[in-house]
Structure 1
Amino acid sequence: MASMSPSELRLQKELMSLMKKPPLGVTVDAEEVGKNLSQWIIHMDGAQGTLYKGVHFQLQFKFRNKYPFDSPEVTFIAANIPVHPHVYSNGHICLSILTKD
């Protein structure tokens, strides 16, 4: 078996941490991650006390080989794409709030 790159080692470490102690309402699709370490499917329940309470979301995280120096691409997938000013109708998350905009 080939050795893992620094990026893969970091992803493996973060994945194990997330699976062992996930935030409330968050689960990792271990079967999908097992197929491809650089693409995660995360299941997330809407937070209590918000208009998203009771709603189930799926997010796809795509990590490039320069992670953690390059941010992952995070997209809402499946039927429940939240209506939010920073989420496009195709599920892509607008990150302009992190720049001068």
Structure 2
Amino acid sequence: MSSSSASSRKALSKIACNRLQKELVEWVIEVNGAAGTLYTNETYQLQVDFPEHYPMEAPQVIFLQPAPLHPHIYSNGHICLDILYDSWSPAMTVGSICISILSMLSSATAKQCPEDNDRYVKNCRNGRSPKQTRWWFHDDKV
């Protein structure tokens, strides 16, 4: 391999790396409800925002509108799921987050908003991030 070929390869790698870094700052992932659940044949979108210190810090994950009706998903798309906050581990991946969210959706027994939905959403009107919420994780049934 000639030196010019090797340097163009490095340049391409740097360009590709920069492009991927820009694209990975924010992802939108389509989630399909599992067969045999309350969300069968329903499709939702998750927006995943990667912080500067990812994977040491959890990404911010929210449902885009319309968010599913679920006891742990607020109508503004914020998700009350411990692995997105207190229980995050750098060993977790976007794939493991998606599996956890699908599992949460699949185990729901009723389509309903969280009991405090209106109050919470009202408090988030000025663009408050779900990471600024002090979540109380008390329900491990759904």
Q: Choose between structure 1 and 2 for higher RCO, CA contacts under 8 A separated by at least 6 residues.
A: 2
- The residue matched to 1:36 in structure 2 has which SS? helix
% identity of equivalent residues: 44
What residue in structure 1 maps to residue 34 of structure 2? 47
User: Structure 2, unaligned stretches of length 5 or more?
Assistant: 1-10, 88-135, 138-142
Query: What TM-score, normalized to structure 1?
Result: 0.59
What residue in structure 1 maps to residue 76 of structure 2? 90
The structure carrying a bigger helix percent of its residues is: 2
User: Structure 1, unaligned stretches of length 5 or more?
Assistant: 13-33
Matches of 1:96 and 1:44, distance apart in 2: 19
- Aligned length, in residue pairs: 74
Tell me if 1:76 matches 2:55. Answer: no
The structure carrying a bigger strand percent of its residues is: 1
Query: What TM-score, normalized to structure 2?
Result: 0.43
Shift of 1:95: 3.1
Q: Is the 8 A contact 2:44 2:63 kept in 1?
A: yes
User: Which has the higher Rg, Structure 1 or Structure 2?
Assistant: 2
Q: 1:11-62 deviations in whole A, cap 9, x for unaligned?
A: x6xxxxxxxxxxxxxxxxxxxxx96321000011111110000101101000
Taking only aligned residues, the RMSD between alpha carbons, in angstroms, comes to 3.2
